[in-house]
Every structure is written in C-alpha cells, then in structure tokens.
Structure 1
Amino acid sequence: MPEEPKQTNPHIKKVPRPKRRVGLWTYIISIVVALGIGVGGTYWLIGRQVNAQLSSMQQTSKAMKKIESVYETINENYYKPVNANKLANGAINGMVNSLGDKFSEYMDKSETESLNDTIDSSFSGIGAQVQKSGNYVQIISPIAGTPAKKAGLKPKDIIKAVNGKSVAGKTLTQAVSMMRGKIGTTVKLTIERSGQTFTVSLKRAKIPVTTVDYKLVGGDKKIGYITVSTFSTNTAKEFKTALKALDKKGAKKLVIDMRGNPGGLMTAALKMASIFLKNGKTIMQVQARDGSTEKYTASKKYDGGFKETKSTTVLIDGGSASAAEIFSAALHQSAGVKLVGSQSYGKGTVQTVTTFNDKTEMKITVAKWLTPNGTWINKKGLTPDVKADEPSYASLTVISKVSDLQADKVNSNVKTFQKYLQALGYFKGTVNGYFGDSTTSAVKQYQKHAKLTVNGKVDKQTLTKIETELANKISDNDRAYDAAMKLIEKTN
C-alpha cells in the first residue's frame, strides 16, 4: 500500500494522527491512494501544483478559523451551558452530511462497535443490509435465513419507522441501532413498498456467521450450487472449503448465487474472484480523485495458488451490490462467465474508515471502483446475459393486520390478500380491495384444500398457511435459477 501523504495544514498538524483502519467497511473495502509527482515532471508543473496547494491551505485555514469562531460564539454566548463534545460532533456531522453522500458518515463509539460487529457477522438484529434514501432508510438486501428474509422484506423497501418512531432525519447508524437489540425480542418496522405502507413484526435473531452454503444438484449432471449471502471476514475461506467439498462430491460444473448479496469486504471479493481467473487477469480497478487508476489482478497473493476451472454461471439480482458486483463483474469480463438474473444494484464507490483516539470513526468515499474493462457501474449495475425476473407475486407486500381481512371491509391489506389467493389459483374475481363474496368463496376453497375449518373467515392460522404456500410457490418458480441451470447444462 502506498504511503499516505503527510499533513501540511498547520491547523491540523497539532492533532495526533488518527489510526486508519483499512479493509473493514461492510460494503466495500477501502484503499488509500497516495498522490505524488513523477520524477519527469517539469519545474513549471511542480510550481503550479505548489501554488495550488498553498491556495488550498489558505482556504482551509479560513474555513477552520470560521468554524472555531462559531464554536466559541455558541460556547460563550448561548443562553444555557452547552456540551463541548456535542458541539464538536455536530460540526463533524454537518461537514460529512454536506457531502451529500449516503456512504460517508461520522460514527460515535456505539455506532463504531456496531460497524465492527457487522464486519464480523456476529451481531443480533433483523438481518438486512441498508442504506440512506432521502430522509429514510432503504433495504439493499435481506440476508438469507434471517428474520428480514423470512418476513418477506425486499430490496428497495423503505423503512419509515421502527417501533412506531420515525427514522426521518436519523443517520444510517442511528436507524440501524434502533433495529438492533437482544436476541428473541420483537421489533416492528413500518415499510413502504411501491407506494403502499404496511407494518411487519420481526423477532431479532443471531445473524448467521456462515456466509456460504453449497449442495450438489442436477442429478447425474452433478452441478455444484453455491450461495454467498455476504462478504465478511471468513467468507473467502468458507468459499474455498465449499469448492473443495463439491469437487470431492464429483461436481462437474458450478452455479454461484450472488442474489440478495449486499456486498462486504473487498479483500474477500478479490480472493474469491482470483480463483476463477488466470494470473495477471484484471479483477477490478480503483480510480482516485485525480483520475489515476490502480489495477488489481489475479495472483497467488489472493488465491494461494488454488484455481477453479469448471464451467461456471453466476446469478445476480437487484440485491447484488458492491463486493458481490466486483466478484460477478470480474468473472464475467475476465473469465467469460455468463451472468443470469436481473440488473444488479450498482454501487461503485470505495470508502475508508478512520478511527480516532476517542473510539469514534468516520468513513468517507475516497474513490471509484471500475470493472475489469474500466466501466463504472454506479447507479447502473451489471446487466445479465440471460434476463430472468421473479414472478410478479414474488414482490407482494406483507399483510400487516389480520383484523383487516374481514367480510365487507375495504383496504389495502384485503387487496394484497386477494393477490395472494390469485397467485395460488383460488381467487378468480377482481382485485379491488373489497372483501366480498368472491373473496369469501376463495378463502373457503383454500381452507378445504389446507384441511382447515371451512368458514370463509381469515384467522392467523389461515393466513400463515397461505403465506407459507405462496413462499414455496415462489421458491418452486425461481425463473432465474431455472435459467442458470439450463444455461450451465449446455456449457462444455
């Protein structure tokens, strides 16, 4: 790693240099890029850059004096005593927020601990990766096997309130802190999806430490199917273990499922992608603010000499972000691996995390990352070679109140319920949100099928059975998975 440039601003010189933790941010690992002048630069160029640096220092000096003046004015003249740390933290938050970058943030001690827990996948909570979206919080992706996934939360769902308290104006880490808590306790989220708002209750759980799952599918065709839920500390090691285990089982081809993977450590993505690439092939590029780029290429440094040469296909969707996109793009562009599914999320920036002496931290975006061919996919995502979306009923909202599902009632929950029954083949009427005779008849048909009391009334047991059957249907009609299997079977 290049040496970090020395601090030249006299107003910052006296402050002890904070320790920089590189390689631990959940979405994308950071890279510190040093700026310098080549030996061949002309005196004119050097002089120009020195003048520019002096001008920048003067501007910084004026800004710091203004901040100091405001601080002193408030501290000495406000009508009641103020907390010095609160003022300082407010100033820092204000500067970071002025960037308008949802991935840059100042974190207090508790928020820092929360970040470290997330990196190690050792926290308790609902199991969803989130980001800021306007005044609220948006789900990037629910993690497989977690309360968020089981409750049917989807990428792009907006979290508007936690336990009835609005998250409007809260920092991302503050909102996450509201959602976390002791294992087994319940948290209620107010969710907005496609213009509809509903409430869902989740029981907090230990978020799985294991991030890689695998099995042999395809019968005699012996296809190794690997799912990667996130990129954390042990993911690369787990991934290599999965590949070796599938090889022993006789796997001839591979399907790697990156759907719903919100990303994680860039180092894990580099190690995993290198396994599939010939040494020297580009995994990714990082572009600094001055436009210079640094390439990261496959080598023994990342994969330890372990290579995988089986025919491979990768599944992606709107919940595949950051490190998941680095991995997928590397295999696609540098190893000719086909992508199947739907457009990925599109996060193409790099953050550094700076740790201060008081155990607070600040993360800021310092660079862009580019795919092997130099494409910046930010807010665009990766386009699959074979497009295969989920069925429309896979994105239905969660029904928040069973009490809404009563005869003669008209509301959004009834409308969603009618769509449930329609997807299962029981409701033939018009989806209009009115619980009339056609809806009652459909409920009776389902209750008869499920061997429940046939009365046309929706209780918790009936709704749970319907939700479970719908979830199974979604799983059984996984178009992207089927397309990936069809494609890999044709591959030599």
Structure 2
Amino acid sequence: MKRAGSTPNTPLWRSIILATCCFTASGLALAQPMPDASQDSTRVEIKLPDPEEQLPLDDLRKFTEVFSRIKDAYVEEVSDTQLLESAIKGMLSDLDPHSTYLAPKDYEELEESTSGEFGGLGIEVGMENGFVKVISPIDDTPAQKAGVQAGDLIIKLNEKPVKGMALEEAVNLMRGKPGTVLTLTIMREGESAPVEIDVTRDVIKVTSVKSRIIENGYGYVRITQFQAETGRQFRKALTDLEAEHGSTLDGLVIDLRNNPGGVLQAAVETADALLDEGLIVYTEGRIQSSRLRFSARAGDLMTSTPIVVLINGGSASASEIVAGALQDHGRAVVMGTQSFGKGSVQTVIPLDETHAIKMTTARYFTPDGRSIQATGIKPDIEVRPAELKELASQPFFTEADLSGHLEGENEQEAREQREKAANAEASAADRDYQLRSALNLLKGMSIFNSKNSSKAQGSDQ
C-alpha cells in the first residue's frame, strides 16, 4: 500500500524525471558558448545551473502524484495519452478563453475556417459563465438565416446542457453532417424565457467581401470575416465600385458589424488600402517575436472619398483593428455600437504535422496606443439598431395641384423627381436603421464638402 504523499515508484515517474533532466541539461548546454577549437576540451567547464532553479520540481512531483492516483483509482481505465492530452488542454484553457490545444481534427478545422470553407452552423463562439456565447453569426450561413444573434447564450445543444462543457466539446457537437438539424436553446437579452432555434447544418462557404452601389454615388462594402484573401478582395471591390459608378465615389460605407475577425495580416491590408502613411497596428508581448509594428504604404485608393465604418458588439479582433486604425487616423467616421473588445493576438504553434497549440502571445494597440482588450472600440457616433416605420400622413397639396396654376419652367422634370424620390424613400425604409444613418451622414458630408469647394473656387476668381 502506498503512503499518502510518497513519490510513486513507477516507470512513468522515472520517465518524466529522466525527460525533465535531459531537457534541462540539453537546453542549458545549447545556451553555453561553444569552446574555442584551440583550447583543451578537458579544461573547459560548462556549469549547469541547479535544476531546482529552472523547473518547479515540487509541482512536478505533485503532478506525477495526481497522474499516478488517477491511473490507479479512477472508476474507468484511462490511457497515458488521454491523461497527458487532458493536462495540456487544461494548461492552455485555464490561461484565457482563446488559448487551446489543437488535436488533429481541430487543427484541420482551424485551417479550413481561415481559408473560407468549413462545415457547421456558421457562428463564431466563445465561453461566458460556463455557457457558449455567440460572438457573431456569419452572413449567409444556416445560423444567421435561422435568426441566431450576436450575444445569444447557448444553454442547450439538442437536449444536452452546455453548462460545464468545454468549448471544444460544444463546437464538436455543433458540427455534423450537412442536412442534419441541431436545436439550439438560447437565452437572449430582453427575452424572459429561453428561445429554441432549429438550425440545419451545411457546408459553410464564407464570401469574405461583398460590395454594391446602394445609391447613386455611394458604395457599400460588407466584410464578413478576415481571411487570407480578404485584403486583395477588398481592394478589388473598391476599384469595381468606382468603375461601376464611372468616377470617384461620393461616399463609402464599410460594414464590419458581426465580423468576428480572422487573419491579422488581412486586417492590415484592408486598412492599408485606405491610408497613405502611418501606423496601422502594433502588438506587445513578452517575447521579441510578438512585438510587431505594421505601417501603411503610400497609396490611398479613395483619397477624397468620405468613409463611414459600421461596427457593433459582434465586431471583434481584426475588424476592431481596421475600425481603430481608420478612426485614429481620422480617415473614417466610426458609427454603430461599441465593439466586442478582443484585443489579443493568438499564435498557432505547430507541435508536429497534426498537432498544434493556439496561444495568446500579445495584445494589440491602435495607432494612438489604445488597447481595446475587454473595452472595445467606441464609435464616434452611437447609433443603436432600430426598426424603421413610416408614419401614416395625408399627402400635402402643392401649387402644382391647384387647378389653373401658372405653369413652371421645369414642372414635368420636377414631377418626375418627386416620384423618383417617393420610390427611393420607400426602398430606403426597408434597409436597416444603422446603414441608413451612415448613408445620411455621407450625404451631409458630401454636400458640405461640395459647398466649401464652390466657395473656395469663387474666392479664387
């Protein structure tokens, strides 16, 4: 019978101690300068520091004690591999919500998500108080079409409670064969009772950048997620919009709402397309390789075009980098609601061909030195989502409606313009309130700039 607190005399314990000593010795030996070839090697002394100062041996003994007791007494037999992988997962998951161990399937899925095609529901999720929280649904995916919203707390997956479940386990349950249905039970702010939403799984193909002319002279670019090709696609979208309009745009809306982030380099390239110079973002971490600075190259693709960037609570990470950079440089007006506040950088470190760890290695800062970790980007103009409803009113009579009125010089043209405006007004009412607010702001900026330009030309004559 083993005495409580005794060191287990097992092959595993001996292997760990041996591996620890070998690691310590070899690592320290490599750190020493190589002896000069002219010296007698017998007189070269390489002093190895005390292992007690390099590794927490008492804590390692505690770990092996727990390992041994689980192996001996757990209700079911557990393999060494399973226990060691669980220990690795625990080390990382206890650091922060974004650090994790990537087993082969997880590693593969991460690569798929950054390339733009993967299977599942189409939501970016995290953990909050033991529940799965929706950071944002991705555009044109089953979850978004079914009505899942940013901020929803998932409390059940089918009939299985989420409380106490690891995020990795929850994500695995959400993935599945395309065409199968998963019932999400969610708690939503403003709802007194849980809401059930049925979502049909599908192969998720994310279109990173979408663009269109929303009104004559005003462009709209929606970035759903930052992937490897997003920077290039964004630049192409800008040139295509100007080609479609036939000249420089009067205004541009960049929609980053419910954009969960993605590849850091893609965010840098996107901001760079609209800046001539200056810092875009910098990162600070403990190791030298995590201290990076990204600056803009000359060449703003839309130098004279006013820009509004839309954000909300589902805008995270890379989308916050873009919004923060354009805001600090005064290149765009940021509108909407406060962003998510994920201001940390994760690095994927491969362990071998099929395993890796994703670990938080740095915090990122906007050009003005703002860390947005847990605080987010505050919009310049706060505009909350709202439903647009036109008030019923009697039409006004005008001079043109009076019988026998004096005919105007451009009466027919004016009538056509009124009809066109009425139709445009009806279509605008169908759009979301935040987008309409952005468009109205751009129109005001365009009118203001046009009048100032006219006055300046008049004073020069």
Global fold match (TM > 0.5): yes
The answer (yes or no) to whether the contact 2:99–2:358 under 8 Å persists in 1 is: yes
The answer (yes or no) to whether the contact 1:390–1:478 under 8 Å persists in 2 is: yes
Identify the residue that residue 485 of structure 1 maps to in structure 2: 439
Q: After superposition, give the CA deviation of every residue in 1:8-31 in whole Å (9 maximum; x if it has no partner).
A: x85646999xxxxxxxxxxxxxxx
Greater relative contact order structure (CA < 8 Å, 6+ sep): 1
The answer (yes or no) to whether the contact 2:24–2:51 under 8 Å persists in 1 is: no
Q: Please give the TM-score of this superposition, normalised by the length of structure 2.
A: 0.72
Amino acid at match of 2:59: A
1:269 pairs, out of 247, 267, 270, with 267
SS state of the match for residue 235, structure 2?
Answer: helix
Identify the residue that residue 155 of structure 2 maps to in structure 1: 160
Q: Post-superposition shift, 1:390?
A: 0.8
Amino acid at match of 2:263: L
| 2-structure distance, mates of 1:74, 1:15 | 31
Identify the residue that residue 86 of structure 1 maps to in structure 2: 82
Q: 1:192 aligned to 2:187?
A: yes
| 2-structure distance, mates of 1:482, 1:110 | 43
CA gap 1:13/1:354 in 2 versus in 1, 3 angstroms = farther
Say which one has the larger Rg: 2
1:208 pairs, out of 181, 199, 205, with 205
CA gap 1:154/1:113 in 2 versus in 1, 3 angstroms = same
1:257 pairs, out of 251, 255, 258, with 255
CA gap 1:132/1:473 in 2 versus in 1, 3 angstroms = farther
CA gap 1:360/1:171 in 2 versus in 1, 3 angstroms = farther
The answer (yes or no) to whether the contact 1:11–1:64 under 8 Å persists in 2 is: no
Identify the residue that residue 413 of structure 1 maps to in structure 2: none
The answer (yes or no) to whether the contact 1:340–1:387 under 8 Å persists in 2 is: yes
The answer (yes or no) to whether the contact 1:186–1:204 under 8 Å persists in 2 is: yes
Where in structure 2 are the equivalents of 1:426-441 lying within 5 Å?
A: none
SS state of the match for residue 205, structure 2?
Answer: coil
Q: Post-superposition shift, 1:102?
A: 0.9
SS state of the match for residue 320, structure 1?
Answer: coil
The answer (yes or no) to whether the contact 2:92–2:100 under 8 Å persists in 1 is: yes
The answer (yes or no) to whether the contact 1:111–1:177 under 8 Å persists in 2 is: no
| 1-structure distance, mates of 2:313, 2:206 | 23
SS state of the match for residue 270, structure 2?
Answer: helix
CA gap 1:81/1:388 in 2 versus in 1, 3 angstroms = closer
1:380 pairs, out of 370, 375, 384, with 375
Q: Post-superposition shift, 1:78?
A: 5.6
CA gap 1:475/1:10 in 2 versus in 1, 3 angstroms = farther
Q: Post-superposition shift, 1:59?
A: 4.1
Q: Post-superposition shift, 1:264?
A: 0.6
1:179 pairs, out of 174, 180, 196, with 174
Q: After superposition, give the CA deviation of every residue in 1:91-111 in whole Å (9 maximum; x if it has no partner).
A: 112222332x11111232222
Where in structure 2 are the equivalents of 1:326-405 lying within 5 Å?
A: 326-357=321-352, 359-391=354-386
The answer (yes or no) to whether the contact 2:283–2:293 under 8 Å persists in 1 is: yes
Q: After superposition, give the CA deviation of every residue in 1:267-323 in whole Å (9 maximum; x if it has no partner).
A: 1000110111122x11112111489954321127xxxx6733222111111111110
| 1-structure distance, mates of 2:443, 2:52 | 59
| Aligned positions, number | 365
SS state of the match for residue 321, structure 1?
Answer: coil
Identify the residue that residue 64 of structure 1 maps to in structure 2: 60
Q: Post-superposition shift, 1:125?
A: 1.6
Q: Post-superposition shift, 1:118?
A: 1.5
What is the root-mean-square deviation in Å for CA atoms of aligned residues? 3.0
The answer (yes or no) to whether the contact 2:307–2:331 under 8 Å persists in 1 is: no
Q: Post-superposition shift, 1:55?
A: 9.1
Q: 1:287 aligned to 2:284?
A: yes
Amino acid at match of 2:376: G
1:307 pairs, out of 291, 297, 301, with 301
Percent identity over the alignment is: 33
| 2-structure distance, mates of 1:132, 1:14 | 40
CA gap 1:68/1:312 in 2 versus in 1, 3 angstroms = same
Amino acid at match of 1:352: T
SS state of the match for residue 182, structure 2?
Answer: strand
The answer (yes or no) to whether the contact 2:276–2:300 under 8 Å persists in 1 is: no
| 2-structure distance, mates of 1:202, 1:481 | 27
Identify the residue that residue 422 of structure 2 maps to in structure 1: none
CA gap 1:159/1:12 in 2 versus in 1, 3 angstroms = farther
Identify the residue that residue 412 of structure 1 maps to in structure 2: none
Identify the residue that residue 318 of structure 2 maps to in structure 1: 323
SS state of the match for residue 362, structure 1?
Answer: strand
Q: After superposition, give the CA deviation of every residue in 1:450-484 in whole Å (9 maximum; x if it has no partner).
A: xxxxxxxxxxxxxxxxxxxxxx9998252211111
1:138 pairs, out of 133, 137, 153, with 133
| 2-structure distance, mates of 1:424, 1:186 | 38
Q: Post-superposition shift, 1:368?
A: 0.8
The answer (yes or no) to whether the contact 2:121–2:143 under 8 Å persists in 1 is: yes
The answer (yes or no) to whether the contact 1:277–1:335 under 8 Å persists in 2 is: no
CA gap 1:56/1:98 in 2 versus in 1, 3 angstroms = farther
Amino acid at match of 2:439: M
Q: List alignment gaps of at least 5 residues for structure 1.
A: 1-8, 17-52, 395-422, 426-471
Q: List alignment gaps of at least 5 residues for structure 2.
A: 1-19, 28-48, 392-425, 450-461
